[in-house]
A and B are shown apart, each in its own frame.
Chain A
Amino acid sequence: MKELKFWQAINEAMHEEFARDDSVTLSGIDAGMPGGAFSASRGLLERFGPLRVRDTPISEAAIAGLGVGAAMNGLRPIVEIMFMDFLSLALEQLAGQGAKQHFMSAGKLRVPLTVRTMCAAGRNAGPQHAGSLESWVAHIPGLKVVWPSTPGDAKGLLKAAIRDDNPVVVIESLSLWTAKGPVGGEDDIIEIGKSEVKRAGRDVTLVCVGSMVQRALAAADALSAEGIEVEVLDLRTVSPLDKDGILASVARTHRLVIAHDAAKPFGFGAEVAAIVAEEALGELDAPIRRVTAPWAPLGTAPAQELAYYPDTDGIAAAVRSLLA
């Protein structure tokens, strides 16, 4: 299987979908001529022309509205919101307008929109550039939210998002940007709404997504040396959550840890925990643990980031605490 870096996988997914379907477009700040602020759209403008690949003003509300309105009139647009912190500027158009069109029109309108956005956690990008804000968009019925953890998942999930008839937010992690891995071919789509067991294990289910998956796998490696076998469940999709996948894993391990970079209260970990508590409490041999960022904005200094985000040791400690 061909190997690509994470950003190259995103780039290849867009090239393939642009070639496959004339109605696919890309608009965003630096998305066209500069080839993307982080190179993800390199070559698209040259290959597909300035009508379909366009730089926009720094106007997130208009960018989101552009995508929703274009999707309502026959395109399958991709729009870019450079950092997910800026989703706040676009949220009315996404949440108030895009997510509800199919519902309000009783099925007459569809919004096949893809919103690519970056989570820059772990790169000293600071309080207004590096939030892990998936819950902002996960709590909106009508939107889907995916967050790939590998180049292969990035390609397959982005292609799925582009082909989906609903608005889908695709979160891309800057910390994974140059990670290399195998990627699928032109029609290898990863189904939205399905998790994947990234590592099987009998003792504890460790639920995570996106850039947390690497730390979860590292924690699982360390624990394996101690004789603890962790099942790392990569959600791949934050919303709608793969309830069946979560419950099946907990039924195998009887213990649950959830790790995410978002603050603990109202983070998706609370939802995962609630699902298990509601539907599989009897399966649990230990309390549920969440390993998350604290209830505070993020600081910029490396030491502040280290103190803020869950690390491998913290995740491993939470797992051990369930087996003590």
Chain B
Amino acid sequence: MNIGHNAAPAREQLTAQYRTMILIRRFEEQAARFVNEQKMPGSTHTCIGQEAIAAGICGALQPGDQVLTTHRPHGHFIAMGVDLKAMTAELMLKQTGINRGRCGSMHLVDPDHGVLGANGVVGGGVPLAVGAAYAAQVRGSGQVIVAFFGDGASSQGGCHEAMNLASLWKLPVIFVCENNGYAEMTPSTSHISVSNIALRAPGYGMAGAHVDGNDVLAVSQAAAEAVRRARAGEGPTLIDCETLRMRGHFEGDPERYRPEGQKSEWLARDPIARLAGVLAERFAVAADELDAIDREATAAVAEAARLADADPAATGRDILDFVYAGEAA
């Protein structure tokens, strides 16, 4: 989507992004509820408040492009078009889950929809993204690869190594930092030496952009330019998307570290409400239409859960399958 100086963002494209974002929001609300009800065991991290980044970045990609994501991955999977029912089943650790219940929330992987994995290791996917981008360069596939990571991951050595290498080789990769204010429970000011990660881009010799991560138009614009640059062989871009995680590090986190009033301040910057405002004011989208999109999303996540809930739980019978490729278990 080109929403640069010369082109207005198309109503259809923004509406599609609204649909993605509201779907993520409703999915995450349901996931939070299911974790609380112990229907989704294991470690679950929701991305409420960060939906514009998934929608803006993934919305700029083409079929065949790939993303690697984090322990907070649901939004990226949804924005890449994952089958909601299969993902819900995976989070519920069902046999019918995308990964047969071996991954759950934090390790989800869905190559059929271009997602080469969530990651249980903070920063673990960033070097992999550089590898996938190298393969794209060697094969001449034209693919663009996105590495989502957080402000916490930005301090991992592997991320620095990967960014240097990607810039050196002009690889078609986009590093997207979801700078959500916290590395687990530690505020950014206590763990990173710069106010935003994009300030490090010149140090790697690559393009950088610092955007309001709660403004899907700003994210989309930065994404479009980064995608253009990657496909043109001009190398990687490091985008810092400033946002706030509106829930705890994990579902169940008592959030004792939150300053008073922080969430209410950010509620005014809710990415979904802001996009609804843009659609209403600039494109005269009626409230009814937005409500209908919301109702569809709510129904879709509920239907996915209803179907997944009926599926059989993962068993211990297949734990020796797929340890090695090309071998019967």
B residues 76-120 near A (Cβ < 8 Å) are: 98-100, 102-103, 107, 109, 111-112, 116-117, 119-120
Tell me which of A52, A56, A93 has the highest count of chain B C-beta atoms within 10 A of its own C-beta: A93
Tell me if A106 and B99 are in contact (CB < 8 A): yes
Provided the pairs A57-B161, A104-B117 are in contact, do residues A68 and B325 lie with their beta carbons within 8 angstroms?
Answer: no
**Least CB distance, B195 to chain A, in whole angstroms:** 26
Residues of A within 8 Å of B109, CB to CB, are 101, 104-105, 108-109
Residues of B within 8 Å of A108, CB to CB, are 109, 111-112
**Least CB distance, A16 to chain B, in whole angstroms:** 19
B residues 120-178 near A (Cβ < 8 Å) are: 120-121, 124-139, 141, 143, 145, 157-158, 161-162, 164-165, 168-169
Provided the pairs A56-B165, A105-B111 are in contact, do residues A97 and B138 lie with their beta carbons within 8 angstroms?
Answer: no
Count, chain A residues at interface, CB 8 A: 46
Provided the pairs A72-B132, A73-B132, A142-B324 are in contact, do residues A66 and B164 lie with their beta carbons within 8 angstroms?
Answer: no
- The total of interchain contacts (Cβ-Cβ below 8 angstroms) comes to 155
Provided the pairs A72-B116, A141-B323, A142-B324 are in contact, do residues A65 and B127 lie with their beta carbons within 8 angstroms?
Answer: yes
Count, chain B residues at interface, CB 8 A: 49
What sequence of 0s and 1s flags, for each residue 181-198 of chain A, a beta carbon within 8 Å of any chain B beta carbon? 000000000000000000
| B321 adjacent to chain A (CB < 8 Å) | yes
Q: List residues of chain A with CB under 8 Å of any chain B CB.
A: 23, 25, 27, 51-52, 54, 56-57, 59, 61-62, 64-75, 77, 92-93, 96-97, 101-112, 141-142, 144, 164-166
In the complex, besides A61-B161, A72-B132, 5 extra interface pairs with C-beta distance below 8 angstroms are A62-B158, A65-B127, A69-B135, A74-B135, A104-B109
Q: List residues of chain B with CB under 8 Å of any chain A CB.
A: 66, 68, 98-100, 102-103, 107, 109, 111-112, 116-117, 119-121, 124-139, 141, 143, 145, 157-158, 161-162, 164-165, 168-169, 321-326
A-B contact pairs, 29 of them (CB 8 A): A51-B137, A52-B138, A57-B164, A57-B165, A59-B161, A61-B158, A62-B158, A62-B164, A65-B161, A66-B134, A69-B128, A69-B131, A72-B111, A73-B131, A73-B139, A92-B158, A96-B124, A97-B127, A102-B323, A103-B322, A106-B98, A106-B100, A106-B102, A106-B321, A106-B322, A112-B325, A142-B323, A164-B326, A165-B325
